[in-house]
Amino acid sequence: MTAQLSKPDRPLLATLKGERQAVPPLWLMRQAGRYLPEYRALRAEKGGFLELCYDSACAAEVTLQPIRRFSFDGAILFSDILVVPHALGQHLWFETGEGPRLAPQLSQTGLDTLESRPERLAPVIETVRQVKAALAPETTFLGFAGSPWTVATYMVAGAGSKDQGAARRLAYADPVRFQAIIDAIIAVTVDYLSAQIDAGVDAVQLFDSWAGSLSPSQFERWVIAPNAAIVAALRARHPETPIIGFPKGAGAKLVDYAGGVGADAIGLDETVDPVWANAALPAGLPVQGNLDPLALIAGGATLDAAIDRILAAFPERAHIFNLGHGILPDTPIDHVQRLVDRVRGS
């Protein structure tokens, strides 16, 4: 990868391939969602969140909404990381105000009780096709999946948790059984992301939202190794498709993650000092991030200063401007526009 200043037709995709841009490309995690009135209107019309994810036309519309409003350099597929355990055979539903639920809980039963349902992923792949047909050619289309550790935490506990305790307990107590869960997730995820690529996405991101809850040795086994397996398998099938790894909460373990996983770019959460990341990560490795979503809510001079610090941290490295995690529902739309204008120098 070579760092250079250029203005290609697809700046985000070029950045993922190592080309530094004079103005960093920009997209935001969860940019399609609850902070947009057009999303809230469609969600109210459609009903439940999962129903919206599996309605290809509606999910395509949601994917495109923030592109129309802000002209982001990247469009990220509207879906959910838990469609993978749904395809593995768990029941999936969303409780209002409480989040996702999965049954049966794998803390109490085994994979052999599940009946694989890969056809459940078909509507998501159709969403990819519809978005690709509607998306402007200069906009990079990003697919995604949850990383195995994060997905496993939900499968084991049947819901989200503050410390991922159920999955951590199982991983220590019965690593063979937990490895079987991880391996099943890897297999489905590789096929799922490969299908997204075949249907039209230009790059993919692996979200390891709960990577920060693991000790170093457990991080190596349950974060680095599974993500490396997915990256290797995808690279064998789609050698030209960039892969972004996002291990939220990894902290100093980002260096080991970068070296061990082999992703084409690394996402930084808001707790990472971008100056440290620029010095510590391998030269030439593109990075993505890492504005605190709460700074975006604060707006004004606070937001401007936070943006400027991140922009100054990567004087020679290929950089994609993004949040350190997903945009929050109460984010003012004019603050997002201020962010876009500030990054682009408008």
* 192 assigned to active site: no
Give the integer Cα–Cα distance in Å for 165 and 161: 8
Q: Please tell me what DSSP assigns to residue 121.
A: G
Q: Is 265 in a helix, a strand, or coil? A: strand
Q: Active site residue: 30, 101, 168, 317, which one?
A: 30
In terms of residues, how long is the chain?
346
**Are 67 and 59 within 8 A, CB to CB?**
no
Distance CA 171, CA 140 (A): 37
Q: What angle do CA 178, 190, 285 make, to 5 degrees?
A: 100
Handedness of CA 177, 182, 186, 188 (dihedral sign): positive
> Residues 10, 43, 168, 221: which is the catalytic one?
43
Choice among 10, 20, 39, 80 that is catalytic: 80
- The interaxial angle of helices 165-173 and 175-199, nearest 10 deg, is 120
Tokens for 51?
């129903």
35 labelled catalytic: no
CB atoms < 10 A from the CB of 333, how many?
12
Of 39, 54, 154, 192, the catalytic one is 154
Beta strand extents in the chain (DSSP E only) = 74-76, 91-95, 99-103, 140-146, 203-208, 243-247, 265-267, 287-291, 319-323
Task: Specify whether 34 is catalytic.
Answer: yes
Q: Is residue 101 annotated as a catalytic residue, yes or no?
A: no
What do you get for the CA distance between the two ends of the chain, in Å?
29
Residue 277 makes CB contacts below 8 A (sequence gap 6+) with 254, 268, 287, 290, 313
Q: Look up 80 and say whether it is catalytic.
A: yes
Two tokens at 344?
Answer: 């682009």
User: Residue 129 is inside which H or E element, if any?
Assistant: helix 122-134
> Mind spelling out the 3-state secondary structure of 81-116?
CCHHHHHHCCEEEEECCCEEEEECCCCCCCHHHCCC
Q: What are the catalytic residues?
A: 30, 34, 43, 80, 154
